[in-house]
Structure 1
Amino acid sequence: MSRKPMLPDGLSSYLAERWRGIGLSLVIVVATIWLGVTGQLGLYIHPRYFIFTTVMAVLGLVFVVSSFVYRTPSSGEPVSARRRAVALSGSALLLVIAAVTVLALPPATLTSATATQREVNSGGLDGAAAAEDAAALVGTGDYERLSVKEWVSLLAQSDDPALYADKTANVTGFVLPDAADPDNVFYVARFVVTCCAVDAQPIGVPVYQPGWKATYDTDDWVQVTGTFVSNPSARSADALAVLPTTVEPVDQPSDPYVY
């Protein structure tokens, strides 16, 4: 005696055809809303897009829920029981993998692995705006308030050592080895995000400290205080570098990128 299918042919065919797309859409919109609620969207997109992205995710959730309620007409083509079972089980497995990947694994920030694929200080800065912000802080004489982005902007304007002789830098970022002289120079680096993490560009302030690898690891977050000098490294492409007085390990900030 043959066993009857647990689901009517029409319903099982419908689920086999539509469940995968609807389920994946549900995982994506729920993950986006969750990132927005937990304040982690900044690991993926620029803050200017937070509201737009969250609103669109909520609308997407409404459409996904509606698609479960509203059933579109089937194609009318018969589907074998085996094909239905394979489609349903494959969809279920794919959804479980997607849900675990997107929802269970913690969001990760960009690291040196990405930075080494993109040239440091080659882009990501709005030169005029960054220079204006940096100049405003320079005018106050409180140089230690300048961020990595602002120091990089100033260094791009001029690398005359005399202009930096009396200025102390106090910057925080992750350790990124200088590709030209990794044993003696590293960057206090951050990623500049203009739209999303895909277009993020690494920027950094060079630090001259021979043998730094004995104390810090690549991607460690540090706070460096020191003064600018003509870069003693003959191989590094940077004309100036910070000669550190202190290098302190710090925790990764909640917002590791700059905008």
Structure 2
Amino acid sequence: MWRSVQRWRGVVIIGTMAAITLWLAVTGQLALYIHPRYNVFTVTMSIIAVVLAVASVAGRRDHDDEDAPPPRRSQRALGLTAAAVAGLFTLGMVLVPPASLSTATADQREMNATAGGDEESLAAAATADEASIARFTVREWAAILRQTSDLSFFADKPVTDLVGFVIADEDDPENVFYVSRFVVTCCAVDAQPLGVPVHLPDWAATFEPDSWVSVSGEFASNPSSSSLQPVAVIPDTVDPVEQPREPYLF
């Protein structure tokens, strides 16, 4: 058994993982794990891995290694443990359906910590026309809110169909939630949450955390006395929507 494990574990695990990666690419779900700019490289490497795994199996011949010294007990235990862990990980990838990151991940990371922006981008936003403002995503609004809370800046700049998933404001979870998206630089491991605060008393009676919504409204001074966010969206409409095909912002 030991020699069989040693002989096949690497080929089986690599081949299976490569096949799963190709399946994710074909079904359009690879973006749940990596930035789209890495798709071509990842798919190419996966194809090579599958070809090499098949070639390894086709060309494998049993060798007479009866004379080889038996491994020490510690080596055998370590090897079997490593194979079991890798096998369980691979099995999990097969059985657990792909899913986007959620509030469980966002709670472990600081909201809007990576909401970038500079004076130039703020000036461009200040003079943007109505059509451009209507296309602003969570990324643009989060960057603006990180730079200014001047209400005059937000005059005549309504929020239009801002899509994201719901995360409760930890300081006033009953009245304020964030319409949120993850921004991904390389892969899901480095994903950082961005969010725009929305003041909607008793929102949890209608929407669950992690549910996807589309918000339209206007920015105003946050009516919440507990929330640390000075400016929030006062919504005209908050409608449930399906999760976008690409839930992350790149």
TM-score relative to the length of structure 1: 0.82
Q: Where does residue 229 of structure 2 map in the other structure?
A: 238
**Cα separation, 2, equivalents of 1:135 and 1:76:** 75
Q: Where does residue 135 of structure 1 map in the other structure?
A: 124
Contact 1:45 / 1:196 at 8 angstroms: preserved in 2? yes
Q: Where does residue 255 of structure 1 map in the other structure?
A: 246
Q: Where does residue 145 of structure 1 map in the other structure?
A: 135
**Cα separation, 2, equivalents of 1:24 and 1:130:** 49
The counterpart of 1:167, out of the listed 157, 181, 196, is 157
Q: Where does residue 178 of structure 1 map in the other structure?
A: 169
**Cα separation, 1, equivalents of 2:146 and 2:2:** 62
Asked if 1:67 corresponds to 2:94, the answer is no
- Over 3 Å counting, the alpha-carbon distance change for 1:95 and 1:229 in structure 2 is closer
RMSD, aligned α-carbons: 3.2
- Over 3 Å counting, the alpha-carbon distance change for 1:96 and 1:199 in structure 2 is closer
Match of 2:222, as an amino acid?
Answer: N
Contact 2:165 / 2:179 at 8 angstroms: preserved in 1? yes
Q: Where does residue 58 of structure 1 map in the other structure?
A: 47
**Cα separation, 1, equivalents of 2:96 and 2:126:** 40
Match of 2:50, as an amino acid?
Answer: L
**Cα separation, 1, equivalents of 2:89 and 2:225:** 49
**Cα separation, 1, equivalents of 2:27 and 2:50:** 18
Match of 1:219, as an amino acid?
Answer: D
Q: Structure 1: which 5+ runs fail to align? A: 1-11, 81-85
Shift of 1:66: 2.9
Q: Where does residue 43 of structure 1 map in the other structure?
A: 32
Q: Where does residue 193 of structure 1 map in the other structure?
A: 184
Shift of 1:94: 7.2
- Over 3 Å counting, the alpha-carbon distance change for 1:129 and 1:65 in structure 2 is farther
Percentage identity across paired residues of the two chains:
45
Based on CA coordinates, which of the two structures has the bigger radius of gyration? Answer: 1
**Cα separation, 1, equivalents of 2:236 and 2:179:** 14
| SS of structure 2 residue aligned to 1:139 | coil
Q: How many residues align?
A: 241
Q: Where does residue 8 of structure 1 map in the other structure?
A: none
Match of 2:135, as an amino acid?
Answer: R
Shift of 1:137: 9.5
Matches within 5 A, 1:79-158: 97-98=88-89, 100-123=91-114, 125-127=115-117, 131=121, 135=124, 139-142=128-131, 143-158=133-148
Q: Structure 2: which 5+ runs fail to align? A: 72-76
Shift of 1:228: 0.2
**Cα separation, 2, equivalents of 1:206 and 1:117:** 18
Shift of 1:158: 1.6
Contact 2:117 / 2:144 at 8 angstroms: preserved in 1? no
**Cα separation, 2, equivalents of 1:122 and 1:233:** 22
Q: Where does residue 216 of structure 1 map in the other structure?
A: 207
TM-score relative to the length of structure 2: 0.84
Match of 1:146, as an amino acid?
Answer: F
Shift of 1:42: 0.3
**Cα separation, 2, equivalents of 1:96 and 1:157:** 48
| SS of structure 2 residue aligned to 1:127 | coil
